[in-house]
């Protein structure tokens, strides 16, 4: 692997990759614990698959933006290192499956040649920052949010405050009040606003989330000035890092911290951090995401369209006018988000003459092409049609979102991808008129964790199981009534009934036939659902839940031939908890080394945070000797005082809280950074001496 070390232009990236290679070797040699190694590789986009011995690699693409060159690079990498397939995700990433762990550093280096990163695509970090795919061309947008999303991505990548949090943080930027980036289910969701003075800012949605227990976000700022976007976000992350749960991963999201402490108290803590953050204002560079150059005007050769009716439907359901006069955006529906690499290359070749060099991955696992001239639409349609990329009804009832389910995910209970294809066939064949219905979306997850976003769908399904005749039957939990309202408001779908998976097609028939027969004029699905009430749908679907008349094929899941069994592995998406004394002091030393490097580089805010983290880690190592396993950093600080300082067993001349929590009471100046560092060095030496004494 020596070649990538000398060819990469960015020394920080190069060191990252070398570090991953070294840690893999240490893991193989048995000198680094498996749990610690798992945490490290997750933060570098390397995720264990359901299949043993191979990894899923997640590529982090801020707000889903990818160029022709980058997409071709990803396709080449997927051929060389993976299974020759690209999977588009609901967080606007691309995933490659069936990758050998030992080849991941080399894979990463290949991607970085075209400025593509894996860093912090998984694990307890700030995940990919998403945005409305049509940002920059949206007629309804107050301004383009793309540079703001890019700024948040860049500022927090490798930022010491968010490398090892209790769990992940998800951030979104919607282009308008239509809220197509779903701010209401994010830890931080931003909706652009312009105030009465013509100034830019954002409505801030706070502590939302899906998962097994969905929470709708709260509006905590109606107008956050644009230069406060980064400072506010940093303050939130600092609070989450210190007070967030670390032992029980099921209670470790920001939404649970709000549930535990109360929204008012969490916001008070956020405000308390403002003195210590790196910058008090942050000017966003609006030139970081320039609009791509349209193709020059030219004569397009006349093309023959074999099916004019299909073309007209395609124009109506998959094409939008941009805010830039004379240009159109074209949406491409990608079934279950999968594109084979040979098809990806053919796709780039087909669209390149017709569009600007920017493709956006959408939250429903499709693609958006930008700056298409009106006269180019017929030839673009023909080129896409030859590749099978003109399926009608983008983001409509016929465009189903799904996670990989049992195809590759450790947590998958049932096959969600084949189910999605089957249900789409039902729409196209039995309800073709509903390809225009964009107020009903179907979303499917392979388990209750909502990676397929079933919790925010008008019609949602998640994988489950039921027992009948002494055997396990693959099932789906039917959820109804969720979805986006707008401007930060949303609805969580309600659990209605559980039915065998093979009856999901009948569930869809029952619901849609009822909707067609009973909805009132211009009535949305939300209004129809509210008017009818949950019990109406329970009674409607109840016959499908009858397990006394099961057929043999209903014991077999979609896409399978064998009888269904539940085989759930250990999920990795949120990382793991490291409570091993042997590694905690090593981590404390490592963090203190980072503090030293940051101090020498003049990065005083980073040095301070690394110093803080090293002291908390060291204190936790001694607590474990007493069997005390605090679940938050704040808990570690409190318990160290209780068990060591107040008893006189460890002398500091002050409380540990007073020592370590100087971090949020001082400006991040050179003077404070050096003083704090010196105090930490003395504290760490004391911890090591104590450990040596205990060992003897």
Mean pLDDT of 15-28: 87
Tens digits of residue pLDDT in 229-253: 999 999 999 999 999 999 888 899 9
Residue ranges per structural domain of the chain: 2-112, 130-275, 308-386, 401-555, 581-695
3-class secondary structure, 192: strand
Round to whole Å and give the CA distance between 337 and 400.
10
* C-alpha count within 13 angstroms, C-beta hemisphere, residue 364: 25
- If you average pLDDT over every residue of the chain, what do you get? 92
Round to whole Å and give the CA distance between 29 and 24.
9
CA dihedral 428, 433, 435, 436 (to 10 degrees): 180
Contact between 151 and 285 under an 8 Å Cβ cutoff? The reply is yes
3-class secondary structure, 2: helix
Q: Could you write out the DSSP letters of every residue in 92-132? A: S-EEEEEE-GGGHHHHHHHHHTTT-B-TTSSSSSB-PPEE-
Confidence band for 575, pLDDT divided at 50, 70 and 90: very low
CA angle 456/440/324 to nearest 5° reads 95
Record the tokens describing residue 537, joined without a space.
């749908």
Round to whole Å and give the CA distance between 447 and 449.
6
Q: According to the model, what pLDDT value does residue 578 have?
A: 35
Mean pLDDT of 268-297: 95
Tens digits of residue pLDDT in 328-386: 999 999 999 999 999 999 999 999 999 999 999 999 999 999 999 999 999 999 999 99
Contact between 449 and 211 under an 8 Å Cβ cutoff? The reply is yes
Confidence band for 213, pLDDT divided at 50, 70 and 90: confident
Q: With 80 as the cut, is the pLDDT of residue 36 above it?
A: no
Round to whole Å and give the CA distance between 246 and 577.
6
Strands 65-66 and 85-88 turn out to be unpaired
Give the bridge partners for 193, in sequence order: 201
Q: According to the model, what pLDDT value does residue 564 have?
A: 59
Give the bridge partners for 131, in sequence order: 173
Q: According to the model, what pLDDT value does residue 450 have?
A: 81
* C-alpha count within 13 angstroms, C-beta hemisphere, residue 507: 28
List, in order, residues 6 or more apart from 591 with CB less than 8 Å away. 610, 611, 613, 614, 617
Mean pLDDT of 117-136: 95
Among 10-14, 301-305, 566-570, whose mean pLDDT is lowest? Answer: 566-570
CATH top class, domain 2-112: alpha beta
Percent of the chain with pLDDT over 70: 94
Q: According to the model, what pLDDT value does residue 563 have?
A: 66
- Say whether 401-555 and 130-275 share the same fold: yes
Contact between 66 and 359 under an 8 Å Cβ cutoff? The reply is yes
List, in order, residues 6 or more apart from 138 with CB less than 8 Å away. 132, 175, 176, 323
| Cα-based distances in Å from 209 to 212, 457, 516, 621, 633 | 9, 14, 32, 32, 22
The pTM (predicted TM-score) of the whole model is 0.92
Confidence band for 562, pLDDT divided at 50, 70 and 90: low
Mean pLDDT of 147-166: 95
Q: With 90 as the cut, is the pLDDT of residue 258 above it?
A: yes
Q: Where are the alpha helices (DSSP H) in 491-641?
A: 504-518, 525-532, 534-541, 581-600, 604-625, 633-640
- One of 3.40.50.10490, 3.20.20.70, 3.40.1280.10, 3.30.413.10 is the CATH number of 130-275, namely 3.30.413.10
Among 178-187, 511-520, 569-578, whose mean pLDDT is lowest? Answer: 569-578
Residue among 566, 567, 564 at smallest CA distance from 554 = 564
Q: With 70 as the cut, is the pLDDT of residue 400 above it?
A: yes
Tens digits of residue pLDDT in 40-67: 788 888 888 878 788 999 999 999 999 9
Higher pLDDT among residues 204 and 579, named by residue: 204
Q: For the chain, give me the number of helices (H) and strands (E)?
A: 21, 22
Q: With 90 as the cut, is the pLDDT of residue 22 above it?
A: no
Record the tokens describing residue 485, joined without a space.
């309202």
Q: According to the model, what pLDDT value does residue 1 have?
A: 42
End-to-end CA distance of the chain: 43
Mean pLDDT of 262-291: 96
Quick one: which H or E segment has residue 672? helix 670-695
Round to whole Å and give the CA distance between 127 and 152.
11
Q: With 80 as the cut, is the pLDDT of residue 603 above it?
A: yes
Record the tokens describing residue 617, joined without a space.
């880690």
Tens digits of residue pLDDT in 487-537: 999 999 999 999 999 999 999 999 999 999 999 988 999 999 999 999 999
Confidence band for 659, pLDDT divided at 50, 70 and 90: very high
Round to whole Å and give the CA distance between 114 and 71.
10
Domain 401-555 indexed as CATH 3.30.413.10: yes
Q: According to the model, what pLDDT value does residue 535 have?
A: 98
What is the fold, at CATH topology level, of the domain defined by 308-386? Sulfite Reductase Hemoprotein; domain 2 (3.90.480)
Contact between 82 and 96 under an 8 Å Cβ cutoff? The reply is yes
- One of 3.40.50.20, 3.40.50.300, 1.10.287.110, 1.20.120.330 is the CATH number of 581-695, namely 1.20.120.330
Q: At what angle do helices 581-600 and 604-625 cross, to 10 degrees?
A: 160
Q: With 80 as the cut, is the pLDDT of residue 407 above it?
A: no
Tens digits of residue pLDDT in 85-112: 999 999 999 999 999 999 999 999 999 9
The percent of the chain in helix, strand and coil, each rounded to the nearest 5, is 45, 15, 40
Q: With 90 as the cut, is the pLDDT of residue 388 above it?
A: yes
Higher pLDDT among residues 606 and 122, named by residue: 606
Higher pLDDT among residues 560 and 12, named by residue: 12
3-class secondary structure, 536: helix
Mean pLDDT of 607-629: 92
Give the bridge partners for 468, in sequence order: 471
Among 151-165, 339-353, 413-427, whose mean pLDDT is lowest? Answer: 413-427
Q: According to the model, what pLDDT value does residue 639 have?
A: 96
Quick one: which H or E segment has residue 16? helix 11-29
Q: With 70 as the cut, is the pLDDT of residue 582 above it?
A: no
Q: According to the model, what pLDDT value does residue 604 have?
A: 97
Round to whole Å and give the CA distance between 608 and 567.
45
Q: According to the model, what pLDDT value does residue 4 have?
A: 52
Percent of the chain with pLDDT over 90: 78
Q: With 70 as the cut, is the pLDDT of residue 576 above it?
A: no
Q: With 60 as the cut, is the pLDDT of residue 570 above it?
A: no
Tens digits of residue pLDDT in 439-470: 999 999 988 888 889 999 999 999 998 999 88
């Amino acid at each position: 692997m020596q070649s990538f070390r000398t060819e990469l232009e960015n020394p920080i990236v190069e060191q990252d990759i070398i570090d991953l290679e070294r840690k893999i070797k240490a893991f193989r040699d048995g000198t680094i614990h498996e749990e610690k190694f798992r945490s490290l590789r997750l933060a570098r986009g390397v995720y264990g698959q359901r299949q043993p011995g191979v990894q899923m690699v997640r590529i982090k693409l801020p707000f889903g933006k990818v160029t022709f060159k980058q997409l071709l690079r990803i396709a080449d990498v997927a051929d060389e290192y993976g299974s020759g397939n690209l999977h588009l995700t609901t967080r606007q990433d691309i995933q490659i499956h069936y990758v050998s762990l030992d080849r991941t550093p080399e894979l990463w280096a290949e991607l970085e040649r075209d400025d593509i990163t894996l860093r912090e695509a998984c694990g307890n970090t700030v995940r990919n920052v998403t945005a409305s795919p049509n940002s920059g061309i949206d007629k309804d947008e107050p301004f383009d949010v793309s540079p703001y999303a890019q700024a948040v991505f860049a500022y927090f990548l490798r930022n010491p405050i968010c490398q090892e949090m209790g769990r992940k943080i998800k951030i979104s930027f919607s282009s308008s009040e239509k809220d197509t980036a779903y701010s209401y289910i994010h830890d931080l969701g931003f909706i652009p606003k312009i105030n009465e003075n013509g100034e830019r800012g954002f409505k801030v949605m706070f502590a939302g989330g899906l998962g097994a227990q969905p929470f709708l976000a709260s509006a905590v700022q109606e107008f956050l000035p644009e230069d406060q976007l980064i400072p506010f976000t940093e303050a939130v992350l600092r609070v989450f890092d210190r007070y967030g749960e670390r032992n029980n991963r099921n209670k470790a999201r920001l939404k649970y911290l709000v549930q535990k402490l109360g929204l008012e108290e969490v916001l008070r803590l956020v405000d308390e951090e403002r003195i210590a953050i790196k910058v008090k204002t942050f000017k966003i560079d609006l030139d970081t995401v320039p609009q791509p150059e349209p193709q020059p005007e030219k004569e397009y050769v006349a093309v023959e369209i074999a099916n004019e009716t299909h073309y007209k439907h395609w124009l109506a359901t998959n094409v939008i006018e941009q805010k830039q006069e004379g240009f159109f955006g074209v949406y491409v529906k990608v079934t279950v988000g999968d594109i084979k690499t040979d098809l990806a290359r053919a796709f780039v070749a087909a669209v390149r003459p017709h569009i600007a060099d920017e493709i956006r991955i959408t939250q429903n696992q499709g693609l958006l092409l930008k700056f298409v001239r009106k006269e180019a639409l017929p030839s673009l349609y023909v080129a896409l049609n030859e590749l099978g990329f003109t399926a009608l009804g983008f983001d409509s009832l016929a465009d189903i979102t799904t996670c990989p389910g049992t195809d590759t995910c450790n947590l998958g209970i049932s096959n969600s991808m084949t189910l999605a294809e089957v249900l789409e066939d039902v729409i196209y064949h039995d309800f073709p008129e509903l390809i225009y219905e964009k107020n009903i979306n179907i979303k499917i997850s392979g388990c209750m964790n909502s990676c397929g976003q079933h919790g925010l769908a008008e019609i949602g399904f998640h994988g489950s199981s039921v027992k009948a005749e002494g055997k396990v039957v693959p099932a789906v939990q039917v959820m109804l009534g969720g979805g986006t309202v707008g401007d930060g408001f949303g609805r969580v779908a309600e659990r209605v009934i559980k039915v065998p998976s093979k009856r999901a097609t009948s569930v869809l028939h029952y619901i849609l036939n009822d909707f067609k027969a009973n909805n009132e004029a211009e009535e949305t699905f939300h209004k129809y659902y509210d008017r009818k009430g949950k019990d109406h749908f329970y009674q409607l679907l109840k016959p499908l839940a009858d397990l006394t008349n099961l057929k043999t094929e209903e014991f077999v899941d979609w896409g399978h031939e064998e009888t269904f069994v539940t085989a759930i592995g250990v999920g990795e998406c949120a990382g793991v908890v490291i409570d091993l004394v042997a590694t905690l002091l090593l981590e404390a030393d490592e963090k203190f080394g980072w503090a030293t490097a940051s101090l020498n580089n003049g990065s005083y805010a980073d040095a301070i945070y690394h110093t803080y983290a090293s002291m908390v880690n060291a204190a936790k190592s001694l607590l474990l000797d007493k069997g005390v396993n605090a679940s938050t950093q704040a808990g570690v600080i409190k318990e160290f005082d209780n068990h060591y300082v107040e008893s006189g067993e460890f002398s500091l001349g002050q409380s540990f809280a007073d020592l370590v929590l100087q971090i949020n009471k001082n400006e991040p100046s050179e003077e404070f950074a050096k003083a704090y560092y010196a105090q930490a060095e003395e504290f760490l030496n004391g911890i090591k001496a104590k450990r040596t004494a205990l060992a003897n």
